[in-house]
Amino acid sequence: MGLWTKEQLRAFIKENKLVTAQDAQNALKELFAETIQEMLETELDTHLGYEKHEVKAKVTPIAGMARAKRRWSANTESRK
């Protein structure tokens, strides 16, 4: 038993107008590439803690260091 039913396979063949083995190979290669790309993007989103193009404030090491530097500068300026 496969991942797809016979009806799903037939629909895939029809939608992609697959006639030759090369057509099938190209369609599966594209499907596989899209799947791997989506998996990698999801893994990166999970690792970073936010999604690509997310607008809300991101806490990154660089942003954190810049924020700390500004606070330190402000504190030292107020002591003068």
- 32-66 pLDDT, tens digit per residue, is 999 999 999 999 888 888 777 776 656 666 666 66
Please state, in angstroms and rounded to a whole number, the distance separating the CA atoms of residues 38 and 8.
Answer: 22
The band of 79, judged by pLDDT with boundaries at 50, 70 and 90, is: low
In this structure, what token pair is assigned to residue 13? 């063949």
pLDDT confidence of residue 65: 65
Please state, in angstroms and rounded to a whole number, the distance separating the CA atoms of residues 75 and 38.
Answer: 45
Please state, in angstroms and rounded to a whole number, the distance separating the CA atoms of residues 24 and 68.
Answer: 56
Q: For the whole model, what pTM was predicted?
A: 0.48
